[in-house]
Amino acid sequence: GAVVSQHPSWVICKSGTSVKIECRSLDFQATTMFWYRQFPKQSLMLMATSNEGSKATYEQGVEKDKFLINHASLTLSTLTVTSAHPEDSSFYICSARDPSASYEQYFGPGTRLTVT
Amino acid sequence: AQSVTQLDSQVPVFEEAPVELRCNYSSSVSVYLFWYVQYPNQGLQLLLKYLSGSTLVKGINGFEAEFNKSQTSFHLRKPSVHISDTAEYFCAVSERNAGNMLTFGGGTRLMVKP
């Protein structure tokens, strides 16, 4: 099946710094990728939809200036958490839509972000 | 707008016993339905999906689910669980022709005891 990778798998940063998380589709081209956030013992909340070559669509309540999303190629989307604060600590998961079966999303392994 | 409710946040069960994880959804249009499993500090793995056709869907690891349109349910079942099935399970729904936006339920933690 299709494989989606994320890098890094975990990261610790200091408050006020920025962190970039990469999401790659390894064996297919993904015109659409999704970014989710998951707090401990909670479900996944969609943050934004990333479309290759265009601006991301953010869900209500998600600060677009804080969570910068770039989908510069058909296999790579990045999420940059700018001026991170401890409350941004979370598990971030990306997924990519299968172009041959638009109802299917393939999920990355997630990135654990801890802001100190 | 669609919504998904997983009625049980935790389900403890003994090894080799059967289990059912409940999922109900709400939508004004036809939907696709999914069950995912998440192991600690990992992403989501697809267990099974219902797109159309037979309402009984079989997935990986011996799991199956039945789509019940009248009750708007998609309960997940396994006749005999193993310790390795201990994980978080998420039910999700996607409205057809809606850009494949997934809405997740709150999750059910399955705890299999020896």
Does residue A72 carry a pLDDT above 90?
A: no
Q: Do A49 and B32 touch (CB under 8 A)?
A: no
Determine the Cα–Cα distance for residues B60 and B64; give it in Å rounded to an integer: 8
Smallest Cβ–Cβ distance between B43 and the set A42, A102, A107 belongs to A107
pLDDT at A87: 95
Reported as a pLDDT band with limits 50, 70 and 90, residue A114 is very high
pLDDT at B99: 66
pLDDT at A54: 86
Determine the Cα–Cα distance for residues A103 and B63; give it in Å rounded to an integer: 21
Task: Tell me the count of A-B CB pairs closer than 8 A.
Answer: 50
Residue pair A62/A69 in contact by the 8 Å Cβ criterion: no
The per-residue pLDDT for range B65-113, each reduced to its tens digit, is: 999 999 999 999 999 999 999 999 999 999 887 667 899 999 999 999 9
